[in-house]
Structure 1
């Protein structure tokens, strides 16, 4: 089994007592009884970097199942090219399929409902997530036609996705319960696809490390605020362009046009 992608695939948010990360990948591995989990995922990864830096090691492992959890970082960057995104994700799925893997992709939810943003930033993020999900849909159709086995987990349709208890203090990464929800849902998809899931993942938290209120406060000051500032800078030009485009097409009131009385 292999998991590729960003910090959620790394396991951030599901902290272990030794301060390492567990995440949905390890939970899913135990559920399906996989002997090996290959996880080249890294924090901050985009779909392009998954293709360039993670794909080769996953393909070399010839996994029966490969979960690709990526794309959200793409929506949060200044550069967002839908065609490049489609090309990279399509190449990832084709390569994993050629290696014999059943590929699991993810359609993302409206994360602005979890990580509260000002209205202009929220609309910009929603538009990009919609474009990302359209790409996932197109890749699914093309891969299926090519004979690649693909399942798609739609996070927006997953009960509990927007529950606060599913998210860690940063509201960016799933908490332990959120990772369990992901692992359980992917396990159900694999069961539908014909894979055995001897020990389905439960949602009751167990084995993780409790995060203290002090740690939450420190994270907010040290990492949370700087992250929000960086993402605001990335999406700022997108918001400005949308505002200017809207102003360009907005009808001008009669008096402003100098209409004679």
Structure 2
């Protein structure tokens, strides 16, 4: 017996497209930095950005701390003027390791270039050890590479060539360490306005308040790229610091700036003389 089967057509309405969502692994909340350490030399101290009334210095460290929401108890700054990279390793890193910061900023190396015993390979070895010891505690370390300071501070031609050569040698060493250790690095020469005089204090050795704000903005930009929360971005509008008076400028130069230049100049001159002699022979 043959049974007839009638096939009916059925309209199928496609389901609406589901909204696309990123995979769960890609949805990551920004990291919160609760502890910050600032290591290095006089720029890390904050010279060039004086505080009103009570005196002292503010600078890049407190600006970054405010941007990250780090409170006073979470902030550490054992830096001091004149520090070389070896000073950071032996005198500052132990305190920083004990602090166990989430983030450590490192501004050091320029003082090494001004000494007669400058050795870029030794600076590189010390920098690498600084990074390793801090990273062993889970710290994100951000060093800097330097601008050509001879473009900011007017020097005789021979001294300018000598300083430029040493800064280039220092930067090459820093670049090598940064690549090997796999850390981010703030390039001071690439900061917008790095060579504008408004970015520098009257001594032309340290950043002005604007310069410190530029540093802080650069550091927090790198931290944001690394996944850190920056709840209060750094403003480049100056405010909260003291406006140095003309008398204060002169006083600093007479009591601090000129003696410092005299000491460092005497140490640096033999190297500059070699550069000048080599330039003369190359003619």
What TM-score does the superposition give when structure 1 sets the normalisation length? 0.90
Determine whether 1:82 maps to 2:115: no
* Equivalent residue runs for 1:214-229 within 5 Å: 214-229=247-262
Determine whether 1:92 maps to 2:130: yes
* 8 Å contact kept, 1:121–1:232: no
Cα distance in 2 for partners of 1:119, 1:213 equals 29
* Equivalent residue runs for 1:164-203 within 5 Å: 164-203=197-236
Aligned to 1:119: 157
Q: CA deviation at 1:228?
A: 2.2
Alignment partner for residue 63 of structure 2, among 8, 27, 47? Answer: 27
Aligned to 2:244: 211
Q: Please report the RMSD computed on the Cα atoms of aligned residues, expressed in angstroms.
A: 1.3
Secondary structure of the equivalent of 1:124?
Answer: helix
Unaligned runs of 5+ in 2: 1-35
Cα distance in 2 for partners of 1:250, 1:192 equals 46
* 8 Å contact kept, 1:62–1:99: yes
* Equivalent residue runs for 1:32-51 within 5 Å: 32-35=68-71, 36-51=74-89
For residues 242 and 202 of structure 1, do their structure 2 counterparts lie closer, same or farther at Cα, with a shift above 3 Å needed?
same
Aligned to 1:255: none
Cα distance in 2 for partners of 1:135, 1:181 equals 24
* 8 Å contact kept, 2:85–2:109: yes
* 8 Å contact kept, 1:9–1:24: yes
* 8 Å contact kept, 2:113–2:167: yes
The count of corresponding residues between Structure 1 and Structure 2 is 245
CA deviations 1:33-53 (Å, max 9, x no partner) are 123111110010000110010
Q: CA deviation at 1:166?
A: 1.1
Cα distance in 2 for partners of 1:82, 1:154 equals 18
Runs of 4+ in 1 over 3 A off after TM superposition: 243-247
Aligned to 2:96: 58
Q: CA deviation at 1:250?
A: 4.0
For residues 20 and 246 of structure 1, do their structure 2 counterparts lie closer, same or farther at Cα, with a shift above 3 Å needed?
closer
What TM-score does the superposition give when structure 2 sets the normalisation length? 0.84
Cα distance in 2 for partners of 1:250, 1:184 equals 43
Cα distance in 2 for partners of 1:81, 1:25 equals 28
CA deviations 1:47-73 (Å, max 9, x no partner) are 011001000110111111111100111
Cα distance in 2 for partners of 1:218, 1:20 equals 15
Unaligned runs of 5+ in 1: 145-149, 252-261
For residues 93 and 44 of structure 1, do their structure 2 counterparts lie closer, same or farther at Cα, with a shift above 3 Å needed?
same
Secondary structure of the equivalent of 1:67?
Answer: strand
Q: CA deviation at 1:126?
A: 0.5
Cα distance in 2 for partners of 1:211, 1:46 equals 27
Cα distance in 1 for partners of 2:282, 2:271 equals 18
Aligned to 1:69: 107
